[in-house]
Structure 1
Amino acid sequence: MLFHKQAEFASGSILTQEMLELLETYPKQFLQLYFESYCEGVLCGLDYKIREGDLWLTPGILWWQKKIWTSSTAVNISAFLRKCHLEEGALGIVQWRPEQEIKQKGVTVHRLSLDIQYNLTKESPLEVGRFLWRDHRPIKVPNNWDELIESTERGYYFNICHAFQAFPGHATFVRLIFKYMKEVLRQKEGHTPLESAILVQLQNQGGVSLDTLYTYIGRNTAIDSCDNKLPLEELLQAVNEQLHRKHKISDQVVTSSEDIDETMQDGDDMQMEPQGYMLD
């Protein structure tokens, strides 16, 4: 059976427990059902920005443990790392750490705060990025595709390729990576049919699945098969080689990025503006 409930607030009416429960359960159930098929990761926002030399994480929303975690407060990652008094040359992972729940005015609040882990082989939807600490060198985030690829090989940049974007099905890279990939594809002369399809999806949805990227680099690798998966840095490097590969004329299609722009809406990155927390 399908049904629709709506609380009726009339002058002089008594506010019942059922009315209060409806205010909580309806939006909560809607969001949980809407994102049921999504993997865990960033839903929107939580973008990387450089402000006055510091690396910031903008406000946004995280999907984790079938719950929405949100905030309207930007987080200064550089300031957090400075307070940790790290040793020179330290390698680490910045990620969200669950804190003990607290109650505020009858509301149970579950918080996520920034933390540092040193197990570089562990993947987590709570990861923000990886770093190599230098006392006199500011943390930088890649500004384009070339710098992104450089960040997979050198510790000069904040490595964001292990941060997850919430996406239907399996986990995938964050939108900033796909933004840079879209720029390279737009500038490329002559697309294969697959490249044209990827560009359309990047423009409309802001990302593609890792399964699609494996297909692009010519590997028929099932995402569920851990034995066949590449390290994420190697996957990006393989994508980079394919992006710069010169195709034969017979492999190309006549559509250009300008043709695609005329027929499809450009779906640039959502810019909703977390310290993460979740109201239960």
Structure 2
Amino acid sequence: MFSHLFPKFEKGRILKTAMLENLRDFPREALDIAYQDYADGIITGATIRVERDTLTIAPGILKHQDRLYLLNHSVEIAYRATGRETAVKVRFGEGKQDSDWVSHPSEIVLTEPGESGSPELELCRFKLKEGARLRQDYQNFRDLATEYNTVNLLHVRFAADGESTVSPVILRMFGEEMMRRGGGEAQDFSFAMMCLNEGAIRRNVILHYIANRLGTAYKDYSNIEIHKYLSRILDNTRGGGQRLGMSAGGSLRMIVD
């Protein structure tokens, strides 16, 4: 499971091999400095792979309450069809310490979405019908929001500078679909290339792109709303890339230099 573990060096105590191995395997200070300004969320990895009866969570690094949690091996967790929305979450436990270690454990659980009273970080969610197969082979960008039998990543928080952001998986799909459509404005291609070439993109960059592309005021949209408006931009791209606006029927003005 994900854990936050570091050795305690105190005068008079025996220096153990495991304590030195911990320093060798996890360059803590460098990572802490690199991500000190990042909001909580997934930093890298922790991707989900669907198997017949299990979900496999890949190795990764999370940030929670200014601590980095490392998962250095894949973990499998069984799932079943319930017809109800189910979330895969990392649930963080209380810190513990003994004479050698200070640890902050966690566990991966299947639970209902929403607040549970315990500190948690969602990795994905799904709503699987009896007899159906859980899938993650998305047909297009809109398919990311399919309600049933599909791994949903829209609620996942990724760590980024300042505040959490949308999963890079979602943004890469947007970038790929935008490039395939071949229309749009210069800013569409610029943003699409950013989605394809970079990891997590800062949330305010995404929001500024949406506001400018739709011709609206800047607003702090939720992840679900971000996906909805990016889908709308894609739906209207093939027609020539004019500013879309938030309502149909608006006038279109052409400026000739």
| CA offsets 1:14-51 (integer angstroms, 9 cap, x no match) | x8xxxx8xx69x94333222212212111111112234
1:104, distance to aligned residue in structure 2 (A): 7.7
In the alignment, residue 36 of structure 2 is paired with which amino acid? Answer: E
SS at match of 1:184: helix
In the alignment, residue 56 of structure 1 is paired with which amino acid? Answer: T
Structure 1 residue ranges, 4+ long, deviating more than 6 angstroms after superposition:
none
SS at match of 2:68: strand
- Residue of structure 1 in register with 2:228 after alignment: 237
- Residue of structure 1 in register with 2:196 after alignment: 203
| CA offsets 1:200-258 (integer angstroms, 9 cap, x no match) | 322331343333333333242343xxxxx3x433331221120131343788xxxxxxx
Per the normalisation by structure 1, the TM-score is: 0.65
1:69 aligns with 2:64: no
- Residue of structure 1 in register with 2:32 after alignment: 32
| CA offsets 1:167-203 (integer angstroms, 9 cap, x no match) | 1222111121122112112212134122122123223
SS at match of 2:228: helix
In the alignment, residue 189 of structure 1 is paired with which amino acid? Answer: G
In the alignment, residue 227 of structure 2 is paired with which amino acid? Answer: L
Matches within 5 A, 1:254-265: none
In the alignment, residue 243 of structure 1 is paired with which amino acid? Answer: L
SS at match of 1:190: coil
SS at match of 2:131: coil
Matches within 5 A, 1:59-208: 59-77=59-77, 79=78, 81-82=79-80, 88-102=82-96, 106-120=100-114, 126-141=121-136, 143-144=137-138, 146=140, 149-208=142-201
1:108, distance to aligned residue in structure 2 (A): 2.8
Whole-Å Cα distance in 1 between the matches of residues 60 and 76 of structure 2?
14
Contact 2:128/2:150, CA 8 A, preserved across alignment: no
Whole-Å Cα distance in 2 between the matches of residues 117 and 50 of structure 1?
17
| CA offsets 1:95-132 (integer angstroms, 9 cap, x no match) | 1111344558822332111124435478x871112222
Whole-Å Cα distance in 2 between the matches of residues 203 and 133 of structure 1?
30
Whole-Å Cα distance in 1 between the matches of residues 63 and 139 of structure 2?
26
Whole-Å Cα distance in 2 between the matches of residues 170 and 101 of structure 1?
24
> What is the aligned-residue identity percentage?
19
Whole-Å Cα distance in 2 between the matches of residues 167 and 145 of structure 1?
28
Taking only aligned residues, the RMSD between alpha carbons, in angstroms, comes to 3.1
In the alignment, residue 223 of structure 2 is paired with which amino acid? Answer: L
- Residue of structure 2 in register with 1:3 after alignment: none
- Residue of structure 1 in register with 2:58 after alignment: 58
SS at match of 2:233: helix
Structure with the bigger RCO (C-alpha within 8 Å, sep 6+) is 1
- Residue of structure 1 in register with 2:251 after alignment: none
**Higher mean displacement: 59-68 or 206-215:** 206-215
Whole-Å Cα distance in 2 between the matches of residues 75 and 196 of structure 1?
37
Contact 2:159/2:200, CA 8 A, preserved across alignment: no
Contact 1:182/1:199, CA 8 A, preserved across alignment: yes
Whole-Å Cα distance in 2 between the matches of residues 29 and 127 of structure 1?
26
Between the two proteins, the alignment pairs up a number of residues equal to 215
Whole-Å Cα distance in 1 between the matches of residues 218 and 120 of structure 2?
21
1:93, distance to aligned residue in structure 2 (A): 2.2
CA 140–75 in structure 1, closer or farther in 2 if over 3 Å, else same = farther
1:59, distance to aligned residue in structure 2 (A): 0.7
SS at match of 2:148: coil
In structure 1, runs of 5+ residues without a counterpart are 1-14, 224-228, 252-280
Per the normalisation by structure 2, the TM-score is: 0.70
| CA offsets 1:251-277 (integer angstroms, 9 cap, x no match) | 8xxxxxxxxxxxxxxxxxxxxxxxxxx
Contact 1:201/1:207, CA 8 A, preserved across alignment: no
In structure 2, runs of 5+ residues without a counterpart are 1-14, 244-257
- Residue of structure 2 in register with 1:263 after alignment: none
SS at match of 1:173: coil
